[in-house]
A = this chain, B = another copy of it.
Amino acid sequence: MSPEQTPEASGKSLFSLQRRERLMEELRAHGAITVRDVAARLGVSELTIRRDVNILADEGLLSRVHGGATLPSPLDRTAAGTRQHANRHCIGMVVPSLDYYWPQVISGAREAADEQQVRIAVRGSTYDAADNRRQVQALLDTQNIDGLIVAPNMTGPAGQELLRWLNSLPIPVVLAERRSPAEIPAHRLEWVATDHAFGAGMAVRHLWQEGHRKIGCMTDSASPTSSHVVRGWEQAMSALKIPVNASVSEDSAGILGADRGEHFDRILQLCHETQTTAMLVHSDTQAVAFVQHCVDRGIDVPGSMAVVGYDDEVAYLAEPAISAVRPPKRYVGRVAVQLVSARLSEGRNRPVHRIELNPDLIVRESSVGGPRAAADYAMEDSL
């Protein structure tokens, strides 16, 4: 650059903006400056430099210290933006699991919270309504919570009661991956949810395009999303004129360990009988186990049995890698935070929002290539 003599001292005076830029340059170069040095170097009075330092500190571009200034420090309590820290809102978040599906939702929520300048307090819970309520209550008790994001269990009377309770809270509540039914008086509840029915339909249409004409469905009725997956599967099947009643549709709720082998064998038998060549498997942990079982039994995936998983948490780990429907988990968290935040700042005038997001279909090995030409039973009614 031009580190010759002080070009400022040579008669030419600077505009205030240029002076502040010079000041920032010095600051960036040395990490800290003294008022006296800078004043001497720029040929102005110390008072002027102090004023500049104040202006820049107000914009958060540096931290004031006695005698000068340093680069912005997080320890600087007076720093710009810190002021809101005190009264910035805090959103409580209660999710049913901290190791499956929800970590990404939380991650998205944290991103949005940073952007929206709100704090966020997360608690893990279970898929049990009573525990959901306990965790929410714990949040409300311990912290100053201005809004809530919850993914409660909504089934049965306990679920309905929980919903009603959430609806009656004096703070905004947003459901994540849950929909408040129109029937019960929970119309004040906003929600953001993935359109799992659409995701299931996408999977079915994908399998159809790959040449499969009998497409089964394996679900886990214990999961709140399962009903939507089944509905989407049925709708897509109807649209494609595949008889739903004659198709394989199995529930794997609560089947674990040794039972699982039997269960899968039974399903494979059903597929054989109905000439089903493709399965949509809800929860891709289940899909991974199913593919593993197929491989163990010598059934080629995808040649004899194509598989599409749901959730895309672990589907890529299987061998062969499993195609899966991927819900926009990060966005579910993001949007939930945005909803709460907007509600907090806009108040009652803002209408209740209900938001559905479309998932993606991630195509991997387990579903491409279509029914194998030499398959023992899959050819008969393929195109």
- Chain A residues proximal to chain B, CB less than 8 Å: 14-18, 20-21, 24, 31-32, 56, 59, 61, 63, 65-68, 70, 73, 75-77, 182-183, 187, 195, 198, 201, 235, 239, 328, 331, 335, 350-360
Measured between alpha carbons, how far is A54 from B76 in the docked complex, in Å? 15
Measured between alpha carbons, how far is A308 from B75 in the docked complex, in Å? 54
Q: Least Cβ distance of A338 to chain B in Å?
A: 10
Residues of chain B lying within 8 A (CB to CB) of residue A67: 15
Q: Least Cβ distance of A208 to chain B in Å?
A: 13
Measured between alpha carbons, how far is A195 from B235 in the docked complex, in Å? 23
Residues of chain B lying within 8 A (CB to CB) of residue A70: 15, 17-18
Of the candidates B17, B77, B354, the one whose C-beta lies within 8 Å of that of A356 is B354
Chain B's closest residue to A327 (CB) is B351
Q: Give me the 7 closest cross-chain CB pairs, A-B, nearest first.
A: A328-B351, A352-B358, A15-B65, A351-B357, A354-B356, A17-B65, A355-B355
14 A-B residue pairs with Cβ-Cβ distance under 8 Å, sorted by A, are: A16-B65, A17-B63, A17-B75, A18-B31, A18-B32, A18-B70, A24-B75, A59-B75, A182-B201, A182-B235, A352-B357, A354-B355, A354-B357, A355-B356
B351 touches A359 (CB 8 A): yes
Measured between alpha carbons, how far is A73 from B14 in the docked complex, in Å? 14
Chain B's closest residue to A14 (CB) is B32
Measured between alpha carbons, how far is A194 from B80 in the docked complex, in Å? 37
Contact A66 B16, CB 8 Å, known A239-B183, A358-B187: yes
Question: By CB atoms of chain B within 10 A, which of A17, A67, A331, A359 has the most?
Answer: A17
Measured between alpha carbons, how far is A318 from B331 in the docked complex, in Å? 46
Measured between alpha carbons, how far is A174 from B358 in the docked complex, in Å? 15
A356 touches B359 (CB 8 A): no
B353 touches A356 (CB 8 A): yes
Residues of chain B lying within 8 A (CB to CB) of residue A331: 350-351
Q: A18-B73, A187-B198 are in contact. List 19 more A-B contacts (CB 8 A).
A: A15-B70, A17-B65, A17-B76, A18-B70, A20-B75, A21-B75, A56-B75, A182-B198, A182-B201, A182-B235, A183-B239, A195-B354, A353-B355, A353-B356, A353-B357, A354-B355, A354-B357, A354-B358, A355-B356
Measured between alpha carbons, how far is A63 from B21 in the docked complex, in Å? 12
Q: Least Cβ distance of A235 to chain B in Å?
A: 7
B355 touches A351 (CB 8 A): no
Residues of chain B lying within 8 A (CB to CB) of residue A76: 17
Measured between alpha carbons, how far is A86 from B350 in the docked complex, in Å? 32
Measured between alpha carbons, how far is A360 from B24 in the docked complex, in Å? 51
Residues of chain B lying within 8 A (CB to CB) of residue A16: 65-66
Measured between alpha carbons, how far is A239 from B352 in the docked complex, in Å? 22
Residues of chain B lying within 8 A (CB to CB) of residue A14: 32
